[in-house]
Structure 1
Amino acid sequence: MYNTVLAFAIIDFFTAFGLVFGGSILAGIGAVFVFMPPSTLMLKTATQLKIWAIVAAVGGSIDPIRVIESNFLDGHMSPVAQQIGYIVCAFLGAHIGTELIRWLCRGAA
Protein backbone atom coordinates (compact mmCIF):
# COMPACT_ATOMS: atom_id res chain seq x y z
CA MET A 1 0.00 0.00 0.00
CA TYR A 2 2.72 2.49 0.97
CA ASN A 3 4.72 1.88 -2.19
CA THR A 4 1.66 2.36 -4.37
CA VAL A 5 0.72 5.63 -2.68
CA LEU A 6 4.30 6.90 -2.93
CA ALA A 7 4.52 5.80 -6.56
CA PHE A 8 1.33 7.68 -7.50
CA ALA A 9 2.52 10.75 -5.60
CA ILE A 10 5.83 10.74 -7.48
CA ILE A 11 4.05 10.22 -10.81
CA ASP A 12 1.68 13.12 -10.06
CA PHE A 13 4.66 15.33 -9.17
CA PHE A 14 6.55 14.60 -12.37
CA THR A 15 3.43 14.75 -14.56
CA ALA A 16 2.63 18.26 -13.35
CA PHE A 17 6.29 19.26 -13.57
CA GLY A 18 6.58 17.92 -17.12
CA LEU A 19 3.41 19.63 -18.29
CA VAL A 20 4.56 23.04 -17.08
CA PHE A 21 8.21 22.70 -18.04
CA GLY A 22 7.70 20.96 -21.37
CA GLY A 23 4.79 23.17 -22.39
CA SER A 24 6.75 26.30 -21.60
CA ILE A 25 9.85 25.14 -23.46
CA LEU A 26 7.77 24.27 -26.52
CA ALA A 27 5.99 27.62 -26.32
CA GLY A 28 9.41 29.27 -26.31
CA ILE A 29 10.41 27.34 -29.41
CA GLY A 30 7.17 28.37 -31.09
CA ALA A 31 7.81 31.98 -30.13
CA VAL A 32 11.11 31.90 -32.01
CA PHE A 33 9.30 30.77 -35.16
CA VAL A 34 6.85 33.69 -35.01
CA PHE A 35 9.47 36.27 -33.98
CA MET A 36 8.18 36.87 -30.44
CA PRO A 37 10.38 37.11 -27.34
CA PRO A 38 10.65 33.51 -26.10
CA SER A 39 11.35 34.26 -22.45
CA THR A 40 8.26 36.44 -22.08
CA LEU A 41 6.04 33.82 -23.67
CA MET A 42 7.63 31.02 -21.64
CA LEU A 43 6.95 32.84 -18.36
CA LYS A 44 3.37 33.58 -19.36
CA THR A 45 2.77 30.00 -20.48
CA ALA A 46 4.26 28.54 -17.29
CA THR A 47 1.94 30.56 -15.07
CA GLN A 48 -1.09 29.77 -17.22
CA LEU A 49 -0.33 26.04 -17.36
CA LYS A 50 0.23 25.69 -13.61
CA ILE A 51 -3.38 25.05 -12.57
CA TRP A 52 -4.09 22.85 -15.60
CA ALA A 53 -1.01 20.77 -14.85
CA ILE A 54 -2.32 20.09 -11.35
CA VAL A 55 -5.73 19.11 -12.69
CA ALA A 56 -4.22 16.85 -15.37
CA ALA A 57 -1.82 15.20 -12.93
CA VAL A 58 -4.52 14.16 -10.47
CA GLY A 59 -6.73 12.79 -13.24
CA GLY A 60 -9.36 15.45 -13.72
CA SER A 61 -11.07 18.00 -11.56
CA ILE A 62 -14.17 16.08 -10.46
CA ASP A 63 -12.97 12.58 -9.51
CA PRO A 64 -10.54 13.55 -6.70
CA ILE A 65 -13.12 15.91 -5.23
CA ARG A 66 -15.74 13.16 -5.35
CA VAL A 67 -13.37 10.74 -3.58
CA ILE A 68 -12.65 13.34 -0.91
CA GLU A 69 -16.33 14.13 -0.42
CA SER A 70 -17.67 10.57 -0.27
CA ASN A 71 -14.93 9.25 2.01
CA PHE A 72 -15.01 12.28 4.29
CA LEU A 73 -18.77 11.97 4.77
CA ASP A 74 -18.38 8.25 5.51
CA GLY A 75 -15.62 8.96 8.04
CA HIS A 76 -12.81 7.30 6.07
CA MET A 77 -9.92 9.73 6.43
CA SER A 78 -7.17 7.65 4.81
CA PRO A 79 -8.44 8.04 1.21
CA VAL A 80 -9.10 11.72 1.90
CA ALA A 81 -5.51 12.22 3.08
CA GLN A 82 -4.21 10.31 0.05
CA GLN A 83 -6.13 12.49 -2.42
CA ILE A 84 -5.03 15.68 -0.69
CA GLY A 85 -1.46 14.36 -0.73
CA TYR A 86 -1.69 13.68 -4.47
CA ILE A 87 -2.98 17.20 -5.07
CA VAL A 88 -0.17 18.66 -2.96
CA CYS A 89 2.45 16.61 -4.85
CA ALA A 90 1.00 17.77 -8.18
CA PHE A 91 1.04 21.36 -6.94
CA LEU A 92 4.67 21.05 -5.90
CA GLY A 93 5.61 19.64 -9.30
CA ALA A 94 3.80 22.42 -11.15
CA HIS A 95 5.26 25.07 -8.85
CA ILE A 96 8.83 23.78 -9.21
CA GLY A 97 8.36 23.63 -12.98
CA THR A 98 7.17 27.24 -12.98
CA GLU A 99 10.05 28.37 -10.79
CA LEU A 100 12.55 26.55 -12.99
CA ILE A 101 11.19 28.33 -16.07
CA ARG A 102 11.33 31.62 -14.16
CA TRP A 103 14.94 30.89 -13.21
CA LEU A 104 15.86 29.99 -16.80
CA CYS A 105 14.25 33.13 -18.22
CA ARG A 106 15.60 35.50 -15.57
CA GLY A 107 18.82 36.17 -17.47
CA ALA A 108 17.03 36.67 -20.78
CA ALA A 109 14.17 38.87 -19.61
Structure 2
Amino acid sequence: MASFLTKCVVDFFVAFGVVLGGTLLGGIAAIFIMEPPTTRMLLIAEQIKIWALVAAVGGTIDPIRVIESNLVEGYMSPAIKQILYIVFAFIGAHTGTTLVQWICKGGNGS
Protein backbone atom coordinates (compact mmCIF):
# COMPACT_ATOMS: atom_id res chain seq x y z
CA MET A 1 0.00 0.00 0.00
CA ALA A 2 2.85 2.40 0.81
CA SER A 3 4.42 1.96 -2.64
CA PHE A 4 1.04 2.62 -4.27
CA LEU A 5 0.58 5.88 -2.36
CA THR A 6 4.20 6.81 -3.01
CA LYS A 7 3.73 6.38 -6.76
CA CYS A 8 0.51 8.40 -6.65
CA VAL A 9 2.27 11.29 -4.92
CA VAL A 10 5.26 11.10 -7.27
CA ASP A 11 2.99 11.03 -10.35
CA PHE A 12 1.10 14.08 -9.05
CA PHE A 13 4.26 16.10 -8.48
CA VAL A 14 5.98 15.03 -11.70
CA ALA A 15 2.97 16.17 -13.74
CA PHE A 16 2.68 19.35 -11.65
CA GLY A 17 6.39 20.05 -12.11
CA VAL A 18 6.35 19.47 -15.86
CA VAL A 19 3.54 21.99 -16.29
CA LEU A 20 4.99 24.54 -13.91
CA GLY A 21 8.60 24.22 -15.08
CA GLY A 22 7.76 24.18 -18.77
CA THR A 23 5.49 27.15 -18.40
CA LEU A 24 7.98 29.21 -16.40
CA LEU A 25 10.77 28.52 -18.87
CA GLY A 26 8.40 29.33 -21.73
CA GLY A 27 7.69 32.65 -20.01
CA ILE A 28 11.41 33.39 -19.89
CA ALA A 29 11.68 32.51 -23.59
CA ALA A 30 8.81 34.90 -24.32
CA ILE A 31 10.79 37.73 -22.75
CA PHE A 32 13.73 36.95 -25.04
CA ILE A 33 11.53 37.07 -28.15
CA MET A 34 9.70 40.19 -26.97
CA GLU A 35 6.29 38.62 -26.42
CA PRO A 36 4.07 39.11 -23.39
CA PRO A 37 5.16 36.33 -21.01
CA THR A 38 1.73 35.78 -19.45
CA THR A 39 0.09 35.23 -22.83
CA ARG A 40 2.73 32.69 -23.81
CA MET A 41 2.62 31.01 -20.39
CA LEU A 42 -1.14 30.53 -20.54
CA LEU A 43 -0.85 28.98 -23.99
CA ILE A 44 1.98 26.66 -22.95
CA ALA A 45 0.16 25.57 -19.79
CA GLU A 46 -2.78 24.32 -21.83
CA GLN A 47 -0.62 22.70 -24.50
CA ILE A 48 1.74 20.92 -22.13
CA LYS A 49 -0.91 19.50 -19.79
CA ILE A 50 -1.40 16.20 -21.65
CA TRP A 51 2.34 15.72 -22.06
CA ALA A 52 2.83 16.24 -18.34
CA LEU A 53 0.35 13.44 -17.69
CA VAL A 54 2.14 11.16 -20.18
CA ALA A 55 5.54 11.93 -18.63
CA ALA A 56 4.26 11.20 -15.13
CA VAL A 57 2.78 7.78 -15.92
CA GLY A 58 5.76 6.54 -17.87
CA GLY A 59 5.65 8.10 -21.30
CA THR A 60 4.46 5.02 -23.17
CA ILE A 61 1.31 3.07 -23.87
CA ASP A 62 2.24 0.48 -21.21
CA PRO A 63 -0.20 1.75 -18.55
CA ILE A 64 -3.07 1.33 -21.02
CA ARG A 65 -1.87 -2.19 -21.85
CA VAL A 66 -1.76 -3.06 -18.14
CA ILE A 67 -5.34 -1.85 -17.74
CA GLU A 68 -6.55 -3.78 -20.78
CA SER A 69 -4.76 -7.05 -20.03
CA ASN A 70 -5.84 -7.11 -16.39
CA LEU A 71 -9.46 -6.32 -17.21
CA VAL A 72 -9.51 -9.10 -19.82
CA GLU A 73 -8.05 -11.53 -17.27
CA GLY A 74 -10.59 -10.40 -14.68
CA TYR A 75 -8.09 -8.78 -12.30
CA MET A 76 -9.57 -5.49 -11.22
CA SER A 77 -7.01 -4.36 -8.63
CA PRO A 78 -4.01 -3.78 -10.98
CA ALA A 79 -6.27 -2.06 -13.51
CA ILE A 80 -7.76 0.22 -10.86
CA LYS A 81 -4.25 1.08 -9.62
CA GLN A 82 -3.17 2.10 -13.12
CA ILE A 83 -6.30 4.21 -13.55
CA LEU A 84 -5.62 5.91 -10.22
CA TYR A 85 -2.02 6.64 -11.26
CA ILE A 86 -3.37 8.36 -14.37
CA VAL A 87 -5.96 10.25 -12.29
CA PHE A 88 -3.30 11.50 -9.85
CA ALA A 89 -1.09 12.58 -12.74
CA PHE A 90 -4.04 14.39 -14.33
CA ILE A 91 -4.82 16.15 -11.06
CA GLY A 92 -1.18 17.25 -10.81
CA ALA A 93 -1.14 18.56 -14.38
CA HIS A 94 -4.46 20.31 -13.89
CA THR A 95 -3.32 21.84 -10.60
CA GLY A 96 -0.19 23.16 -12.30
CA THR A 97 -2.24 24.63 -15.14
CA THR A 98 -4.69 26.20 -12.70
CA LEU A 99 -1.83 27.71 -10.69
CA VAL A 100 -0.30 29.22 -13.83
CA GLN A 101 -3.68 30.64 -14.86
CA TRP A 102 -4.19 32.07 -11.40
CA ILE A 103 -0.73 33.68 -11.37
CA CYS A 104 -0.98 35.05 -14.92
CA LYS A 105 -4.45 36.46 -14.46
CA GLY A 106 -3.67 38.04 -11.10
CA GLY A 107 -5.69 35.60 -9.02
CA ASN A 108 -8.97 37.43 -9.61
CA GLY A 109 -10.43 34.93 -12.08
CA SER A 110 -10.79 37.46 -14.91
The normalised TM-score by structure 1 is 0.96
Three-state SS of the structure 2 residue aligned to 1:60 is: coil
- Sequence identity percentage: 57
- How far, CA to CA, are the matches of 2:69 and 2:5 in structure 1? 22
5 Å matches for 1:84-103? 84-103=83-102
Aligned to 2:40: 41
Three-state SS of the structure 2 residue aligned to 1:15 is: helix
Q: Which moved more, 1:22-31 or 1:52-61?
A: 52-61
- How far, CA to CA, are the matches of 2:92 and 2:21 in structure 1? 12
Q: Deviations over 1:54-95 (max 9, x none)?
A: 011000241000000000000010000100000000000000
CA-based RMSD = 1.4
- How far, CA to CA, are the matches of 2:102 and 2:53 in structure 1? 20
**Divergent runs of 4+, >3 A:** none
Aligned to 2:14: 15
Three-state SS of the structure 2 residue aligned to 1:40 is: helix
Please tell me the residue identity of whatever aligns with 2:65: R
Aligned to 2:27: 28
Q: Deviations over 1:27-66 (max 9, x none)?
A: 0011111110000000000000000100110002410000
Please tell me the residue identity of whatever aligns with 2:92: G
Please tell me the residue identity of whatever aligns with 1:66: R
The normalised TM-score by structure 2 is 0.95
Please list every run of 5 or more consecutive structure 1 residues that lacks an aligned counterpart in the other structure: none
Aligned length: 108
Q: Which moved more, 1:56-65 or 1:10-19?
A: 56-65
Corresponding position: 1:60 with 2:74: no
- How far, CA to CA, are the matches of 1:20 and 1:87 in structure 2? 15
